[in-house]
Amino acid sequence: MSVLEHTIGMSGLDQFPLHGPVPEMPATNGPLSRQRLLLEAARRDNLTLWELCLQNAGPRGHLMTIGTPSQVVDVMEHWFHNGAADGFNVMPAWLPGSLQDFVDFVIPELQRRGLFRTEYEAATLRGNLGLPGPVRRRQRGAGSADAPKAPVQIP
């Protein structure tokens, strides 16, 4: 219940019956877009307050996919090919275990289907982002303004 209260920016939900309808929410200074999204889902799907708490507790209102690597990739592929997503934020349930499972089992399936790269074009993050490499001292001309200066001797 406290997770839902935090998410929608309202306290006091414990005064309402858990298995009753989701109450009307007063205006809040909390996160309005998330509140609106959750309340619209509750009304549309006729959720009880308890069901809304459960839906929000794990994935916090985000898509949660559970299954074999192939089933997880089926969902991701469907969303990607239908324009519902151009990328995904992976939010593992616990670290490092579920993240390692994603890397070890889901990524290879994404690669097999051609949905995730198998190698990078450049050898560094800088190169993959298309940024220029650092200028090395030997590449600077001796007379250039940014050439290192000779040390100054103080008597």
- Average pLDDT, integer, range 75-97: 89
Chain centroid to Cα 69, Å, comes to 19
Statement to judge: residues 93 and 125 lie in one domain: yes
What is the predicted pLDDT for the residue at 127?
92
**Cα(84)–Cα(65) distance, integer angstroms:** 15
Contacts 24+ apart (CB under 8 A), 115-123: 115/73, 115/76, 115/77, 115/80
Q: Report if residue 148 sits inside a domain.
A: no
Percent of the chain exceeding pLDDT 70 equals 80
At which residue do the structure tokens 């309808």 appear? 21
Which of 11-15, 41-45, 122-126 is predicted with the least confidence, judged by mean pLDDT?
Answer: 11-15
Is the pLDDT score of 104 beyond 90? yes
pLDDT band at 64 (very low <50, low <70, confident <90, very high): confident
Statement to judge: residues 24 and 67 lie in one domain: no
pTM of the model: 0.53
Statement to judge: residues 83 and 109 lie in one domain: yes
Q: Average per-residue pLDDT in the chain?
A: 82
Statement to judge: residues 43 and 94 lie in one domain: no
Is the pLDDT score of 69 beyond 70? yes
Both structure tokens of 33: 């877009």
Q: Report if residue 144 sits inside a domain.
A: no
Statement to judge: residues 67 and 26 lie in one domain: no
Statement to judge: residues 124 and 67 lie in one domain: yes
Statement to judge: residues 52 and 18 lie in one domain: yes
Residue at which a domain ends, from 18, 40, 57:
57
Residues 6+ apart with CB under 8 A from 134: none
Which of 30-34, 53-57, 89-93, 138-142 is predicted with the least confidence, judged by mean pLDDT?
Answer: 138-142
Is the pLDDT score of 113 beyond 90? yes
Statement to judge: residues 39 and 70 lie in one domain: no
What is the predicted pLDDT for the residue at 87?
87
CA-based torsion, 115, 120, 121, 127: positive or negative: positive
- Average pLDDT, integer, range 56-77: 84
CA angle 43, 86, 122 (to 5 degrees): 155
Q: Which helix (H) or strand (E) covers residue 14, if one does?
A: none
Q: Helices 49-57 and 32-44: crossing angle, nearest 10°?
A: 130
> Which residues span the domain enclosing 94?
63-129
Which among 71, 21, 16 has a CA at the least distance from the CA of 45? 21
Chain centroid to Cα 155, Å, comes to 60
Q: How many domains does the chain divide into?
A: 2
Q: Report if residue 137 sits inside a domain.
A: no
Statement to judge: residues 78 and 117 lie in one domain: yes
- Average pLDDT, integer, range 47-60: 78
Statement to judge: residues 32 and 80 lie in one domain: no
